[in-house]
Amino acid sequence: MRYPLPAKITILCLFFYAFNSSYSQKTNFKYEAKELIFTDQYFVLPSNFNLPANQAYYKNQNLFLNSFYFGMTENFSLGMGFEGVSIVEKEFPNVFLMPRFSLGEDKVKIGFNGYIFLSNQSHSSLFMIVHPSITLGQPVGNISFGILKAMLDSSDDLFKNIIITTSFNFKLGAKVLCVGEFYFSSEQYDRIFFSNVGVKILGKKLSIDFSIPIEILTGESSTVLFGFSIPFRI
């Protein structure tokens, strides 16, 4: 039986998750609460392990993308940010909000997440994406499955169909995680398939991550993504 490429990737992610669960039982890696706040998301997608109340952090991605994440309650957090390229060009920046709500037990989390964008391109426009998902595992060592769907009209053909997501993290070392995100269209498996895989280094006062986005079927990659996160209290 031949499986489509997205199914093969999902099976591979499940294998890594099972391997990591076994590996975790044989190691004594300890994580402090100040380090675990950075596991609330992979690179872009949330993990459904929300920020604790009164915790927050700032994240910078490739210098020009700035975002702030706030833990509001045990089950709800809010992200907001803007891109800096427009500011350099003396224009009003594109801004975005990311509400995140999750519930569930320690090792099974269900999340209802959103992405709301206000674009200034040619004329102001509002664009919203919803992202329900489920996460299996712990803050360090988990796998998530979800869908992305635009709720407001989008000129981008990519978001006119449902996009299925698979994401994971697992330990590479005491404070180093391997992190991966995979995106593929539910209707065009052979045309839209994208991955973003890299590492995240956890720390009490700073977290660093870098990844390489790749279009799987062509092997093309346009850039390397680098980010750092700094916590603060609210």
Q: In this structure, what CATH number is given to the domain that contains residue 33?
A: 2.40.160.40
Q: What residue type is 91 in one-letter code? A: E
Residues near 9 by beta carbon (within 8 Å), at least 6 away in sequence: 166, 182, 195, 216
**pLDDT of the residue at 177:** 93
Give the pLDDT score at 189: 47
Chain centroid to Cα 141, Å, comes to 14
pTM attached to this predicted model: 0.81
Query: Per-residue confidence of the chain (234 residues) as pLDDT tens digits?
Result: 454 555 555 556 555 555 555 455 444 556 666 778 899 999 999 999 999 899 999 999 988 899 999 999 989 999 999 987 776 667 777 899 999 999 998 889 999 999 998 876 655 577 788 999 999 999 999 999 999 988 765 555 555 678 899 999 988 888 899 999 998 876 654 455 788 999 999 988 999 999 998 887 777 777 889 999 999 987
In the chain, the amino acid numbered 171 is K
CB atoms within 10 A of CB 72: 17
CA dihedral 157, 221, 113, 53 (to 10 degrees): -160
The encoded tokens of residue 159 equal 């978001």
Name the domain count of the chain: 1
Look at the alpha carbons of 114, 76, 226, 224 in this order and tell me if their dihedral is positive or negative. negative
At 8, which helix (H) or strand (E)? Answer: helix 5-24
Residues 158, 234: Cα–Cα separation, whole Å: 37
**Residue 181 β-bridge partners:** 167, 196
CA pair distance 81, 62, nearest whole angstrom = 14
Dist. CA 59–CA 207, nearest whole Å: 9
Q: Which pLDDT value is given to residue 25?
A: 47
Question: What local confidence, expressed as pLDDT, does residue 93 receive?
Answer: 79
Q: Which domain holds residue 63?
A: 5-233
In terms of C-beta density within 10 A (0-12 exposed, 13-18 middle, 19 or more buried), how is residue 39 classed?
buried
